[in-house]
Structure 1
Amino acid sequence: MTCLMFSGQAEEAIRFYTSVFSPAEIEQIVHPENGMMFHATFLLKGQRLMVIDNHVDHHEFTPAMSLCVTCDTEEELDRAFEQLSQSGKVLVPLGAYPFSKKFAWVEDRYGVSWQLSLGKE
């Protein structure tokens, strides 16, 4: 299972991610006594991911590790690209490439890198 470590934004991030993709759902959120989210699991298009908040050390995400999502339709891909790149940055522009009819690579506002591709329509 992939685990993403945030510095105080984990719950905000998973609520955003589950609003971008479908099907998606938050499975579990565990709040420690101080009220800050510590641990959660969620599903994105059948893939289970885990997030934690680390309030001691801050670690940056890097594009050396990215989440790859195959979208079912062009509309889904376009919407995900628009939402994930908003306040983030485009690493590879949305377009046609030899390996995919439609593809983009973006870094979202939290620093998480996403490779979005179109499945066979």
Structure 2
Amino acid sequence: MATTANAYLGFNGKCREAMNFYKGCFGGELTLQTVEGSPMESQCPAAIHHHILHSALTKGELVIMGTDMVHQEHVHGNNISICVNCSSEEEIESFYGAILKGGEVLDRLEERFWGAMFGVVVDKYGIRWMFNYEKKK
């Protein structure tokens, strides 16, 4: 098994909403574990029992994880990007367009000097997404 990296995103009570949005964009299987019913339940105030302790969206080798359980207020910034390497031109256009809904283009999707289609979007949750499709030569 190869070593891989994935993003683990922190949300302030919007994890379920965000992860369902990402599932709508990429497809795949989404698992959500709430605080309620977990070993953490007795250690947490009742007001956050509906929060997401851990979530994972998987589609093939694409893995995105998220949580509402952050030790400090989550601040949106540019310190994290998720790079999605796509398998076709149709896929990159679909993913880029879906994530863009309610978001902002930082770098429009177009062919680049390195021979790939590439674009960057900040989604409506403040997460930066880089999309890349290496065209076959």
Fold shared by both chains (TM-score > 0.5): yes
Structure 2: where are the runs of 5+ without partners? 1-5, 37-48
Aligned residue pairs, count: 119
Structure ranking higher in strand proportion:
1
User: With structure 1 as the length reference, what TM-score do the two structures score?
Assistant: 0.83
Structure 2 partner of 1:52: 67
> C-alpha root-mean-square deviation of aligned residues, in Å?
2.1
The percentage of aligned residue pairs carrying the same residue is 27
Structure 1 partner of 2:132: 117
Do 1:37 and 1:52's aligned partners in 2 also have CA atoms closer than 8 Å? yes
Structure 1 partner of 2:42: none
Structure 1: where are the runs of 5+ without partners? none
Structure 2 partner of 1:15: 20
1:98 aligns with 2:113: yes
Local SS of the residue matching 1:64: coil
Alpha-carbon distance between aligned partners in 2 of 1:66 and 1:15, rounded to the nearest angstrom: 19
Alpha-carbon distance between aligned partners in 1 of 2:23 and 2:100, rounded to the nearest angstrom: 15
Deviations 1:14-49, CA, capped at 9 Å, x for gaps: 111122125x211x3111233222221221441333
Local SS of the residue matching 2:67: strand
Do 2:117 and 2:135's aligned partners in 1 also have CA atoms closer than 8 Å? no
Structure 2 partner of 1:25: 29
User: With structure 2 as the length reference, what TM-score do the two structures score?
Assistant: 0.74
CA offset at residue 100 of structure 1?
Answer: 4.0
1:76 aligns with 2:87: no
Structure 1 runs of 4+ off > 6 angstroms? none
Do 2:89 and 2:133's aligned partners in 1 also have CA atoms closer than 8 Å? yes
